[in-house]
Structure 1
C-alpha cells in the first residue's frame, strides 16, 4: 500500500469515527469499498478528504458552523470595544477609576450570563484592538513584542481557568491570569526602564489605580523628575482594564454554572423593562426592526466614536496625562474612515443580533 492509499484510508477512518456507533462500521466499510475502486491518486485524496472534513450525521453543517463562528467573532469584537470604552471612561474619573472599573466588570459579567463568548476569539480581538489602537510613538511599549505575550498568556490562562469544575478555582485562575498577562506584557518595558523585577506581582493592581499612587524604579526626565514606574504602569493600564472586563465577561458562565445559555432574570424591574421593550418592537416588522436598530446604532457610533481618541498631540500634555492614568488610549484606528466605518458596521450587526434575540425571547 502506497503513501497516498494509507493517507486516504486514514482520512476515511477519521470520518467514520464521527458517526454514531451503529452506523460507523457500515459507513467505514462502504467508503473503503468506494475508495478501492478509485484509480487516480488525486481522486482518492479528494474523496477521502471530503469525507474527513464533512460534518457527521449529528454534527452541525458548515453553514451553521460559519454562522456560529461569525456570531462569536462579532461578540468578541463587541465585548472588546465595550470593555475598552468602559476602561477609558473609568480612567477619566481619575480617583474614582477603581470603582468605575469594578462597576464595568459587573456590567460585563451580567452580559456574560446571557451571551456566549469565545476565549480564543476574544484574544484575537484584544490583540487587534491593542495593536491597531495604540500607536507606538505615543505608547513606547505597546508594540507587538509587548502585546503578543500579554494576549497569549491571557488567552491560555483563561482557557485553563474556564475548564475548572469549581467556581472559586475558575475565579482564582482568572485573577492569576490577569496578573501574569500584565507581567508578560510589561516585561520589555520593565527591562528598558530599569524597574526591579520583584515588583512584577504588583503591576496589575497598581495599573488599575490612579497614576502616582505608588512610585518605584529609577528617576527619569530632565525637568520635574518622575519614576520609571509611571511609564510602566501607564502602558500596563492600557491593557489591564480591557483584560479585566473581558475576564469578567468570560467568567460569568463559570460563576453562574451556565455554559453560554441565556440566564433567567428574577428581578421585577428587569422583567418590566424587557417586557416593555419587547412590546414596543413587536409593533414593527422583523426586517424593519432589524434595519432600524442597525441604522440608529451605526449613526450613533459614527457620531460618538471620533470623540474617543483623547490622547492629544502635545508631548508634554500626553506625558502628564500618562503619568496620572487619566488619558484615553486604544481608539486611534477610528480616526481613519475605514476604521470608523468598521466599528459602525460592527455596532450595527450587534444591534441587529440583539433585536433578533429580543424578538425570539
Structure 2
C-alpha cells in the first residue's frame, strides 16, 4: 500500500501526499575515492533528561554514537563538535569535549577507516569587546590541547570572542599565527560566514568577503605547513572557486557550501573541492554513492544522485541559515536514527510547519526516506501536534 500523509500547502490548503519508493544506494565501493569527505554530524538529545533545553544540553550518547558509526560505514569521515552539533548554540565546551572523546574512542573501535576531525574554538570564553587577544589565544590553546590529547585532528573553528574584540586584520593574523605555530599536526581552518552565525560578521577584519579572503590567504601562506586545508562556508560558489585557485600547493579546499556542493566537489580544469558538509549528515547514503561514482569516472550517475538533493539542501539551509540544524535532525528522526524529534537547545521549534512539510516532500523526491511507511507515520504525528488534519 502506498504510504501517504496529510500536509499543508503554502496557500493554506491541505493535500494528501503520497510517497514514492525510496532510492536504494548500494554499499560503499572497494575502490578508493578521489575526494576526502567529512560529514558534520549532529547530536541526538536525551528527551528524558531533567534539563532546561535552552540552558543546558543532555545528549543521548548511544544514539549519537550510533549515527557516527552509520557515517563511517558509508566511508564518510566525521567532523565532530561543529555547528551541526549545535556547538556554541546549545552544546557547551565541556559537553563538546566529552563528545569528542567518545567519538574518538568509537572511531578507534570501528577501525582504521574511521576518519575524524574535531572542532577547537573559544566557546568557553564569553564574547566581549574588552577581551584581550591573549585571553582568546589561551582559550584556543586550551581547546586545541584537549582535542589533540583526545587523539583527534583539529578543525580550527571561527571564534566569536575574536570577532568581538579584534581591532582589525592584524589581530586575526596574530591569534591564528600563535595557534598554528603550536599545533602538532596540520589543522583544517574553518571560515564560517555570518549567514550561519551572525556573531561572526566581519571575520578576518573585513565585512567585504573578498578583502577578508586576502587576509585569510595571507595567514594560510605564512603557515602552510600547519594547514591541511580550509573549509569555506559562505554559500558562494564564485568565492570558493576564487579562493581555491589561490591556495598554496598542498593546502586543500573543503567545501562547506550546502547550496553548490555537487559542482564544487566535481570541479573543473583540474581544480576541485573536498567536502566538509552539514548536508552530508542528512544525505549520507546518497553522498557516499555519488562519491563512489565520481571516483569511477561516472559523472552521469554522480550528477543523477546529487541533483535532487540540492533543492532539499537549499531548503534546509534557507535563511535564517543558522536554524538549519532543525531540518538535519528532523530528517534523522524520519529515517529512524533516533526515537524522537527533540533537539539540543529546544531547536525543534525553530522551523515552521510549512517548512517541515516542504522538507518532507523534497526528501521524498530525492529518494531519501528509507522507510516510507515509518516516515509517513512520524510525519503525521508532527502534523497532528501542529494542528494539521485534526
- TM > 0.5: no
When normalised by structure 2's length, the TM-score is 0.23
TM-score normalised over the length of structure 1: 0.24
Q: Which has the higher strand share?
A: 2
Higher helix share: 1
